[in-house]
Amino acid sequence: MGVLNVTPDSFSDGGRWLDPDAALAHARQMIADGADVIDVGGESTRPGATPVDAAEEMRRVLPVIEALAGETVVSVDTRKEEVARAALAAGASLINDVSATLWPVAAETGAGWVAMHMKGDPATMQRYADYGDVVTEVRDYLVGRAEKARAAGVEEIWVDPGIGFAKTAEHNLTLLKHLDVLVSTGWPVLVGTSRKSFLGRVAGGSLTAADRLEGTVATSTWAITRGAAMVRVHDVKPVVMAARLADQTVSAGPAAAAWERAGTGRSVTVGEGAA
């Protein structure tokens, strides 16, 4: 899943793809580099980000979604029902929902749905980075949401531990270490570590977002070898290469199997991988 942030303030690429032509060119490059899904977002969810209203969010994402919809699978990264509905009408087929609340929209429209774990909202979430057992808590929350969505009739459901959302660096690493606990629930798992700040801290310094590529490749590869079915990244080309090697190394081909389980109707050839 290639990230396309049509925002002025995203933490690693804010302002770069605000112009629709620049956004489209970047999306097409990510597709050429091997992305299977383009995730279009119009509101930053970094800690402390300023919320935007639905009209502004739609103004940012809809032209890009309309232009891309015939070319690839498009997901919309939003917490707002109104934006999700408009994006689906414009051709998106997956709701990437960091609030994990929009399954009724997916049920009603037949769209796919990503449930991501977070506590609070982006403005407040780092206050809630407090867990007894982070792995169990995140798993139970996501399974609960996925079961609700399935009962409501959503067919394509993904779960995502929400790396960096109400989590310390230690929580992020623990969730990655025990990713198999989430994978073993049977719901296809999406993981987004791309350029996140814990990668810099773990490497012994803060590092700028652009310097977190190696950490992104390492953690995405780890996630795939632990059974993640999709990784959400800004730097598609290096991660696709690493993902393909990881998939070929893991003979069971978890990415392909999980995509089939998700009932997406899309298939990934074992050995080609998903990213």
Which residues sit at the interface with ligand HH2, rule CB under 6 A? 3, 5, 7, 10-12, 41, 44-46, 77, 96, 98, 114, 116, 160, 162-163, 190, 192, 232
16: which residues sit within 8 A by CB, 6+ positions away? 5, 22, 26
- Catalytic residue selected from 60, 119, 167, 196: 196
CB of 231 to ligand HH2, least distance (A): 9
User: With respect to ligand HH2, which residue has the nearer C-beta, 231 or 242?
Assistant: 231
CB of 113 to ligand HH2, least distance (A): 11
175: which residues sit within 8 A by CB, 6+ positions away? 134, 135, 138, 161, 163, 167, 182
Q: Report whether 196 contacts 164 (CB < 8 A).
A: yes
Burial class (CB in 10 A: 0-12, 13-18, 19+), 218: middle
User: With respect to ligand HH2, which residue has the nearer C-beta, 116 or 239?
Assistant: 116
Strand order in the sheet with 37-41: 2-5, 37-41, 73-77, 94-97, 112-116, 157-160
Say what the alpha-carbon torsion angle 65, 68, 71, 73 is, to the nearest 10 degrees: -30
CB of 228 to ligand HH2, least distance (A): 11
d(CA 150, CA 104) in angstroms, rounded, equals 10
CB of 202 to ligand HH2, least distance (A): 16
User: With respect to ligand HH2, which residue has the nearer C-beta, 114 or 176?
Assistant: 114
b or e along 55-76 (b: 16 or more beta carbons within 10 Å of the residue's beta carbon)? Answer: eebbebbbbbbbbbbeeebbbb
| 232 a catalytic residue | yes
CB of 75 to ligand HH2, least distance (A): 9
Looking at residue 39, its amino acid is D
User: With respect to ligand HH2, which residue has the nearer C-beta, 39 or 248?
Assistant: 39
- Catalytic residue selected from 119, 145, 232, 244: 232
Of all residues in the shown chain, the one whose CB is closest to ligand HH2 is: 192
| 60 a catalytic residue | no
User: With respect to ligand HH2, which residue has the nearer C-beta, 190 or 213?
Assistant: 190
Residue position matching structure tokens 């798992």:
189
User: With respect to ligand HH2, which residue has the nearer C-beta, 128 or 270?
Assistant: 128
Looking at residue 112, its amino acid is G
CB of 188 to ligand HH2, least distance (A): 12
Residues labelled as active-site residues: 196, 232
